[in-house]
Amino acid sequence: MHNGADPRDEHRMKMRGKILRRSASFNVAHAVDDLEPGTGAQSIQRALSLLGLVGLIAGERSSGASLSEVASISGRPKASVHRMLQALIAMGYVERLDEGGYRLGVQSQILGQLAQKSVDPLVTESESSLLRLAELSRDTTFLTVRTGSYSICARREEGFGEILNNALSVGDRHPLGIGAGSLAILSELSPAEVDAQFEANAQIFAERYPKVSVAALRDIIDQARIDGFVHNPGLFAQGSWAVGVPLRIRGSRPRAALSIASIADRVTGPRVERLVALLRREATTISEALSDHPNP
Q: Using one digit for the tens of pLDDT, what is the confidence trace for 275-294? A: 999 999 999 999 999 887 65
The domains of the chain, with CATH numbers, are 31-116 (1.10.10.10), 119-292 (3.30.450.40)
**DSSP code per residue over the chain:** --SSPPHHHHHHHHHHHHHHHHHHHHHHHTTTTTSPTT-HHHHHHHHHHHHHHHHHHHTT-TT-B-HHHHHHHHTS-HHHHHHHHHHHHHTTSEEE-TTS-EEE-HHHHHHHHHHHTT--HHHHHHHHHHHHHHHHH-SEEEEEEEETTEEEEEEEE--SSS----S--TT-EEETTSSHHHHHHHTTS-HHHHHHHHHHTHHHHHHH-TT--HHHHHHHHHHHHHHSSEEE-SSSSTT-EEEEEE---TTS-S-EEEEEEE-GGGSSTHHHHHHHHHHHHHHHHHHHHHTTSS--
Q: Indicate whether 189 pLDDT > 90.
A: yes
| pLDDT per position as a tens digit, 79-107 | 999 999 999 999 999 999 988 899 999 99
Residue 195, Cα to own-chain centre: how many angstroms? 21
Ranges 18-27, 31-40, 136-145, most confident: 136-145
Q: Indicate whether 136 pLDDT > 50.
A: yes
Q: Indicate whether 145 pLDDT > 90.
A: yes
Higher pLDDT, 131 or 73: 131
| Predicted model pTM | 0.72
What is the mean predicted confidence (pLDDT) over 227-250? 89
Higher pLDDT, 278 or 5: 278
Predicted pLDDT at 178? 92
Q: Indicate whether 4 pLDDT > 60.
A: no
Predicted pLDDT at 35? 47
Least confident of 15-24, 125-134, 204-213, 243-252: 15-24
Q: Indicate whether 166 pLDDT > 90.
A: no
What is the mean predicted confidence (pLDDT) over 101-114? 87
Q: Indicate whether 74 pLDDT > 60.
A: yes
pLDDT above 70 covers a percentage of the chain that reads 83
Q: What distance in Å separates the CA atoms of residue 284 and residue 23, rounded to the nearest whole number?
A: 32
Predicted pLDDT at 179? 92
Q: What distance in Å separates the CA atoms of residue 51 and residue 36, rounded to the nearest whole number?
A: 20
Residue 31: pLDDT band (50, 70, 90) is low
The pLDDT mean for the chain works out to 84
Predicted pLDDT at 2? 43
Predicted pLDDT at 120? 81
